[in-house]
Amino acid sequence: MRVPILTYHGVNIAGGGYADNDHVAFAADLELIQSLQLRIVPLQWVVDQRLGRSRRDLRGCVALTCDDGSNFDYDDLDHPQHGVQRSFYNSLRRFRDHHGVRAQPDLHLTSFVIADPVARERMDRQCLVGRDWMQSRWWRAAQDSGLIAIENHSWDHNHPCLDSPGPHGLVRGDFHAVASEAQAEFEIARAQHYLAQQLAPQAPRLFCYPFGHVNDFLRADWLPRRGPAVGLDAAFGDGAAPVTMTSDRWNLPRYICGWHWRSPEALRAILESAAD
Ligand SMILES: [Zn+2]
């Protein structure tokens, strides 16, 4: 297995081009993946394969994820500076309308969302444009569409816009700071619990590290020990490599749009090298 995992951020909207707008990039990348005759599969399939629970043929496959969980994932929104943005969800639907179900029968996107409604509201005011675009009301509709899974991107991202220190002495602004038992329970287990309540009967099974910050306490101690008990199968970082059978279960690598690639040509090189 050598499956590249691609990551987008719905709030990355700084212009209208591929390099400065993740919605433009996402829609173009769906077409690129199709033209390269690669197959989009749910992220959970890659995890199940890695954990030996399934033995699908995942040659020529790629999985899609997006982080932070703003309304831009699901709704088309009129950005005050950059105009109407087509959501990731509507790009998936549009792709399916154009190409038919058989083109990508397992078409899927995993959206890693921030759990805490208070933190989301603070981020909406301080980091977005204060239009209440960090809601949770679209989560269930997205999940019910069958095209999107909602997964765990921590309780509050330990975001710099939050009051510091937070609970359990947590210094804000950096996920490396989550380095004690109580802090990990607060940031990861609490989010698991909240998301399971919101999404029942579905429950989150995947975690991705805010800011891509992976520390040894979480990766090598807390998650191996507590992860399965709180319902987690795996965790994702930003290692810029394909997932293989020897990838670290608690730090599975991903490629980040705007960082590891900024053009269709660069993504094509990533996808072609992963397939070798
Ligand atoms: Zn994030």
Task: Tell me what pLDDT residue 274 has.
Answer: 87
Residue 21: give the domain boundaries: 5-275
Task: Determine the distance separating the centroid of ligand 1 and the alpha carbon of 146, expressed in angstroms.
Answer: 23
Task: Determine the distance separating the centroid of ligand 1 and the alpha carbon of 175, expressed in angstroms.
Answer: 10
User: What do you get for the CA distance between the two ends of the chain, in Å?
Assistant: 11
**How many whole angstroms separate alpha carbon 28 and alpha carbon 189?**
36
Task: Determine the distance separating the centroid of ligand 1 and the alpha carbon of 244, expressed in angstroms.
Answer: 24
Domain count, the chain: 1
DSSP, collapsed to helix, strand or coil, labels residue 15 as coil
| DSSP class of 103 | G
Q: What is the pLDDT of residues 91-148, one digit of tens each?
A: 999 999 999 999 999 999 999 999 999 999 999 999 888 899 999 999 999 999 999 9
**How many whole angstroms separate alpha carbon 237 and alpha carbon 147?**
22
Q: Which residues pair with 9 in a beta bridge?
A: 67
Give the pLDDT mean for 17-30.
98
pLDDT > 80? residue 193: yes
149, 155 in Cβ contact below 8 A?
Answer: no
Give the pLDDT mean for 195-206.
97
Q: What sign does the dihedral 51-56-62-68 (CA atoms) show?
A: negative
Task: Determine the distance separating the centroid of ligand 1 and the alpha carbon of 210, expressed in angstroms.
Answer: 4
Give residue 24's pLDDT band: very low, low, confident or very high (50, 70, 90): very high
Task: Determine the distance separating the centroid of ligand 1 and the alpha carbon of 68, expressed in angstroms.
Answer: 5
Task: Determine the distance separating the centroid of ligand 1 and the alpha carbon of 111, expressed in angstroms.
Answer: 11
Task: Determine the distance separating the centroid of ligand 1 and the alpha carbon of 100, expressed in angstroms.
Answer: 32
The beta strands (E) that lie in 41-82 are given as 61-68, 77-79
Task: Tell me what pLDDT residue 275 has.
Answer: 73
Task: Determine the distance separating the centroid of ligand 1 and the alpha carbon of 95, expressed in angstroms.
Answer: 26
Give the pLDDT mean for 229-236.
98
Structure tokens given for 215: 């520390």
Q: In this structure, which residues have their CB less than 5 angstroms from ion ligand 1?
A: 67-68, 210
Give the pLDDT mean for 25-47.
98
Q: What is the pLDDT of residues 157-176, one digit of tens each?
A: 999 999 999 999 999 999 99
Give the pLDDT mean for 21-26.
98
Task: Determine the distance separating the centroid of ligand 1 and the alpha carbon of 98, expressed in angstroms.
Answer: 31
| Identity of the amino acid at 13 | I
56-68 burial code (b ≥16 CB/10 A, e <16): eebeebbbbbbbb
Task: Determine the distance separating the centroid of ligand 1 and the alpha carbon of 158, expressed in angstroms.
Answer: 10
Give the CATH number of the domain where residue 182 resides: 3.20.20.370
Question: In Å, how far are 68, 94, 164, 165, 174 from 160, measured between CA atoms?
Answer: 14, 36, 8, 10, 7
pLDDT > 80? residue 276: no
Burial class, 93, CB count within 10 angstroms (exposed 0-12 / middle 13-18 / buried 19+): middle
184, 99 in Cβ contact below 8 A?
Answer: no
Task: Determine the distance separating the centroid of ligand 1 and the alpha carbon of 208, expressed in angstroms.
Answer: 8
